[in-house]
C-alpha cells in the first residue's frame, strides 16, 4: 500500500500543477480578451500615433444581429484630454472601450485614432498604443515585481519601484514579508480589489501608452482607498488621451467632457457643471448617488457609536 500511495500522491501533485497551469493560460486569455473573429486585413499597416486623438464617428454596433447595443455614437477625445462615459448598467459603456481596442468590428461608422481607422491597422500596433486599467485585474501566479513588470518586460528594478510609487502601492509592497519578491495571485498572497487595481496602474505607468482606458471598479471602496486610487489614476492619465468608464460619479468631475449613455445612445453630454445645471439624467444620477453615499455614511457612524 505504501508503495502505491507515493505514486498516487505524485499523480495528484502533477494533476494539480497541470490544472493550475491551465488556469494560468485561461487567465492570460481573459486578460488579453481577444475574440478570434477579428483579423488584420491583408497589408494592414502599423498604427502611427501622433498625438493620440480618438474619434467615434457615427458608430453603430451589435454583438449579435438583432440587438443593437450602440447607435449613432459620435464623440472626440482630443489628444491628452479626458472623456468620461457614464450611464446605467448595461448602457454600453464597456462596449465603447472594447471597440477602441477593436475587440469587435462595428456595423456602421468608424473608430479612428489620429485619423486611422482601427480596422486598417495591425492589431498588435493598436494594442501596443492603448493601456487599460480594468475593473478587475487578473494577477499572474508570480511575484509582485513580475506582475508590475508585465507592463514592460525590459523595465529595470528601479523603474518597477518608481511605477509602484506613482501608483501608490510602494508602501504596501515594502510592508510585505518578501517585498517585491512576494508571490501573489491564487497561489500566493491574495490582494484586495483596490490593491490589484493599483498593480494594474503601476503596470500601465511602465507601459506608458499614449491612449488610456480606465474601467473603474463598481465595487465600493473605502474613502481612503478611493482617494489613493484616484491620485494614482490622475498620475497615470496626466497628458494622455484618456477614456474613463465611470461608475462612481465622484471621479468624473474633472473630465473635459462627460458623455451620458442611455440605451446605447448619447442622452446628454457636457462638463460636470453644465450637466448639473441642465437638471437632466446626469443631475438625477448625481443626486441619487449622493443620497446613497450619505445614507452609507450615516450607517457607518451609527455602527461606530454603538
Ligand atoms: P455596466 O455598468 O453594468 O458594466 P455597461 O454600460 O458597461 O454596463 P456593457 O458591458 O457595454 O454595459 O454591455 C452593454 C450590453 O451589451 C448589455 O446589454 C450586455 O448584455 C451586452 N453585452 C456585453 N458583452 C456582450 C457580449 N460579449 N456578447 C453579447 N452581448 C454582450
- 8, pLDDT greater than 70: no
Mind listing the pLDDT tens digit for each residue in 90-131? 899 989 999 999 999 999 999 999 999 999 999 999 999 999
pLDDT (0 to 100) of residue 11 = 64
**Sheet with 257-262, edge to edge strand ranges:** 130-133, 211-215, 241-245, 82-86, 257-262, 265-270
Determine the distance separating the centroid of ligand 1 and the alpha carbon of 92, expressed in angstroms.
Answer: 6
Determine the distance separating the centroid of ligand 1 and the alpha carbon of 62, expressed in angstroms.
Answer: 10
- HSE-up of residue 262 (Cα within 13 Å, Cβ side): 8
Determine the distance separating the centroid of ligand 1 and the alpha carbon of 165, expressed in angstroms.
Answer: 34
Beta carbons within 10 angstroms of residue 296's beta carbon: 11
What average pLDDT does the chain have?
86
- 71, pLDDT greater than 90: yes
pLDDT (0 to 100) of residue 47 = 96
Mind listing the pLDDT tens digit for each residue in 133-180? 887 888 999 999 999 999 899 999 999 999 999 888 999 999 998 999
- Out of 4-8, 111-115, 260-264, 298-302, pick the least confident: 4-8
Determine the distance separating the centroid of ligand 1 and the alpha carbon of 9, expressed in angstroms.
Answer: 44
Note the pTM of the prediction, 2 decimals.
Answer: 0.81
Please give all residues whose beta carbon lies within 6 A of any atom in ligand 1, as ranges: 63, 69, 87, 89-95
- Of ligand 1's atoms, which has the minimum distance to the CA of residue 91? 6
- 12, pLDDT greater than 90: no
pLDDT (0 to 100) of residue 32 = 56
Q: CB under 8 Å to 64, separation ≥6 — which residues?
A: none
Amino acid at each position: 500500500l505504501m508503495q502505491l500511495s507515493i505514486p498516487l500522491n505524485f499523480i495528484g501533485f502533477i494533476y494539480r500543477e497541470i490544472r493550475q497551469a491551465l488556469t494560468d493560460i485561461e487567465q492570460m486569455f481573459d486578460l488579453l480578451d481577444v475574440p478570434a473573429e477579428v483579423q488584420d486585413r491583408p497589408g494592414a499597416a502599423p498604427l502611427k500615433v501622433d498625438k493620440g486623438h480618438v474619434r467615434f464617428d457615427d458608430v453603430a454596433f451589435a454583438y449579435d444581429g438583432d440587438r443593437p447595443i450602440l447607435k449613432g455614437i459620435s464623440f472626440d477625445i482630443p489628444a491628452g484630454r479626458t472623456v468620461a462615459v457614464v450611464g446605467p448598467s448595461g448602457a454600453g459603456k464597456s462596449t465603447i472601450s472594447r471597440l477602441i481596442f477593436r475587440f469587435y468590428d462595428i456595423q456602421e461608422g468608424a473608430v479612428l485614432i489620429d485619423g486611422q481607422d482601427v480596422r486598417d491597422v495591425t492589431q498588435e500596433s493598436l494594442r501596443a498604443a492603448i493601456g487599460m486599467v480594468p475593473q478587475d485585474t487578473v494577477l499572474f501566479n508570480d511575484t509582485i515585481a513580475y506582475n508590475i513588470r508585465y507592463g514592460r518586460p525590459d523595465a529595470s528594478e528601479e523603474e518597477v519601484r518608481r511605477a509602484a510609487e506613482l501608483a501608490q502601492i510602494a508602501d504596501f509592497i515594502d510592508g510585505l514579508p518578501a517585498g517585491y519578491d512576494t508571490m501573489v495571485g491564487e497561489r500566493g498572497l491574495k490582494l484586495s480589489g483596490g490593491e490589484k487595481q493599483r498593480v494594474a496602474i503601476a503596470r500601465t505607468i511602465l507601459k506608458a501608452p499614449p491612449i488610456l482606458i480606465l474601467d473603474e471598479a463598481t465595487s465600493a471602496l473605502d474613502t481612503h482607498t478611493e482617494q489613493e486610487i484616484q491620485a494614482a489614476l490622475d498620475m497615470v492619465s496626466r497628458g494622455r488621451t484618456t477614456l474613463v468608464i465611470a461608475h462612481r460619479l465622484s471621479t468624473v468631475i474633472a473630465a473635459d467632457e462627460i458623455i451620458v449613455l442611455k440605451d446605447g445612445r448619447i442622452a446628454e453630454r457636457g462638463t460636470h457643471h453644465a450637466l448639473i445645471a441642465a437638471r437632466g439624467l446626469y443631475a438625477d444620477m448625481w443626486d441619487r448617488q449622493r443620497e446613497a453615499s450619505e445614507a452609507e455614511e450615516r450607517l457607518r457612524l451609527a455602527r461606530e457609536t454603538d
